Structure 1
């Protein structure tokens, strides 16, 4: 109805995080630049928090579009309410590796292998966790283990935690807080 009146070719206010409709306000631009910096400088872990509906998810999709596909292997987790084992399996799945492994040591070995293969191929691994405030407390310690995958001079994975303001409090209360560097708020 209003599309015809305004000569629009598609509905402008869809409920999906389409980065084509991403409005780069000064605050969103700063958040995007900080996330790009964290990824390109291989900072290990970064966090973005903001109120519901402010554009965090759309910003994460804009980030994915800005990262060169030939240089980055990106896993996007959008429903992080898993047990630690299922969380690791989902990361592998999102990075294109299906697994039947059930044990934590085997899954960690498989994750390390995927991260290291990407490193050897000249690609950086990025794991983006949207709605990260939903991560169970027990999973935060397990996430910290991912940051142990390093060479002598760099992390093998960059973990980006994106969520509502409750995420910051959960990170501060967890073991991952020693590895996470705040990347701003939108």
Structure 2
């Protein structure tokens, strides 16, 4: 498969692409993320992925660009990355004992074509005690993650089950991405 540029600084996305033995360079997007509050969560996450791809493509128009964005959605409301401990606590309390969706938008862009898709996974949380929430927050893990948790780390202990692709929750549905890259290069 041809090399491409990953428009992301996410260590998780980098690791997943390396696991798939893909050849890529990392050039993070510098775009200021613009979100229309009236849009559906699916539209928001696909738009953010596309904005990131477009930003890097504008600097490297002869390359293939891969960008992604992940959001946590509960009751049709997007939970971003927590601003502080109190924000993280509110998010985790809201997720406790409930189910929510994790959406990852992926955008592929080149001079010849573009492709954007969204993958969704349903996540079910255990009911969490205040002590469990405080302990998790004290670990420091929630602060760079949408919805204030990372399923690939300590946050795995909060999750009862999932329905869908685990890697969508991590931040990149890698099997779908590999197939999309093959299709992207073959058309």
**What TM-score, normalized to structure 1?**
0.25
Higher relative contact order (CA 8 A, sep 6+): 1
